[in-house]
Amino acid sequence: MSFANLYPNTFRNHVEKIAIVGAGGQSGSYITDMLLKTGKHKITAITRADSTTELPSGVEVKRVDYNDQSSLIEALQGQEVLIITLSVFAPPDQQTKLIQAAAAAKVAWVIPNEFGSDNANEAQAKDVPINAAKSQYREQIEQLGVSAWLGICCNFWYVYSLSRGNFAIDIKNRTATLWDDGNTRANTSTLQQVGRAIASLLSLKVLPDNEEDTSPCLSNYKNKFVYISSFCVSQREILDSVMRVTNTTDQDWKINYRPVQEVYNEGIELLKNGDYKGLVGGLYGRNFFKDNVGNYELTKGLDNDKLGLPKEDLEEFTKVAVESVENGEVNNH
């Protein structure tokens, strides 16, 4: 570990120039908004030449051609951080091209498109194909030897997951399938919390001031995961929250129980055949096993306090999910 006091007085001990891919997207829009609110960073959005996405004022836009690596390198010149947020439908090689360009442009830090499970947990990474595929990008960053990666472990997006029935709770039809007894807890985060966490992380000092400085700094997280969360809840607790918001009781719902292993096995088979309907069982189901792979708050602890993240109100965000379903909206947040 190096220290800031060993560098010349001209050394700037914080990152300033941040490039983000997907700045107008589902998670990227929250990250961009929270970064702008700090007032500490210069934000550049890397977009396709034909993109029509509107971006907030204060964001510089650089248009690129993903088939021309030199355009990516040029767009990333002078940047200190690259944040990659991509749709699941993005071309498989898009992230690799960005990582290679970041190395060529000497970008110091890369946050890869990994906003989800605790993939430092071998069981989590091994048992879910969509998680296993993410390790290659972290490995690419390390092998290139220029940038360091920062992994954001936030688990499921709460409102998005609840409104879509991914917790096996169907708000519209008032049915729920609780896995095992429904009391196993897993972490889940709001997109607001994810945005705040990244803005706070990238506002930390890069290095400790000196040997005595034990305050959080970016270098503490070099090639590591940052563990954040909004809530640590069971399916039953989520269902109870929905009932409070909708003023209903168990008598108003059809509640079933299934072994989570069975749900997971079915989901994995679907995923193996390219059917993303398997995500509920294969990904969500795996996180509610009793081995606590989804409860990293218990097994690893959280970085919430180090990053100064606020405590959030479960009911507030449950209400957002319920209202979106009742209004017939597709909630991406």
Greatest mean pLDDT range, 11-15, 119-123, 234-238: 234-238
In this prediction, residue 52 carries a pLDDT of 87
What digits encode the pLDDT tens for the residues 38-94? 999 999 999 998 888 889 999 999 999 999 999 999 999 999 999 999 987 788 899
Identify the structural domains of the chain with CATH numbers, from first to last: 4-155+191-227 (3.40.50.720), 156-189+230-296+310-326 (3.90.25.10)
Question: Which residue matches tokens 């100064």?
Answer: 308
What digits encode the pLDDT tens for the residues 188-231? 999 999 999 999 999 999 999 999 999 999 999 999 999 999 99
- What value does the mean pLDDT take over residues 235-264? 98
| CA angle in degrees (0–180, nearest 5) for 60-56-83 | 60
| CA angle in degrees (0–180, nearest 5) for 113-150-222 | 160
Task: For residue 118, give Cα distances in angstroms to 254, 283, 319.
Answer: 32, 12, 27
DSSP reduced 3-state for 186 = strand
Task: For residue 175, give Cα distances in angstroms to 5, 82, 257, 330.
Answer: 60, 42, 11, 19
In this prediction, residue 112 carries a pLDDT of 97
In this prediction, residue 331 carries a pLDDT of 53
Mean pLDDT across the chain: 95
Q: How many residues belong to the chain? A: 333
pLDDT exceeds 60 at position 302: yes
Long-range CB contacts (within 8 A, 24+) of 302-309: 302/227, 302/228, 302/229, 303/197, 303/226, 303/227, 303/228, 304/197, 304/228, 304/229, 306/216, 307/196, 307/197, 307/200, 307/201, 307/216, 307/226, 307/228, 308/200, 309/193, 309/196, 309/197, 309/200, 309/228
What digits encode the pLDDT tens for the residues 253-296? 999 999 999 999 999 999 989 888 998 999 999 999 999 999 99
| Contact indicator for 180, 230 with CB cutoff of 8 Å | no
Cα gap 108→103, rounded to integer Å: 8
pLDDT exceeds 70 at position 333: no
Q: In angstroms, what is the C-alpha Rg of the chain?
A: 21
Cα gap 242→1, rounded to integer Å: 47
Q: Which helix (H) or strand (E) segment is 31 a member of?
A: helix 28-38
In this prediction, residue 300 carries a pLDDT of 96
Query: How far separated are the first and last CA of the chain, in Å rounded?
Result: 38
Cα gap 185→294, rounded to integer Å: 7
pLDDT exceeds 90 at position 130: no
- What value does the mean pLDDT take over residues 88-102? 92
- What value does the mean pLDDT take over residues 288-316? 98
DSSP state at residue 165: T
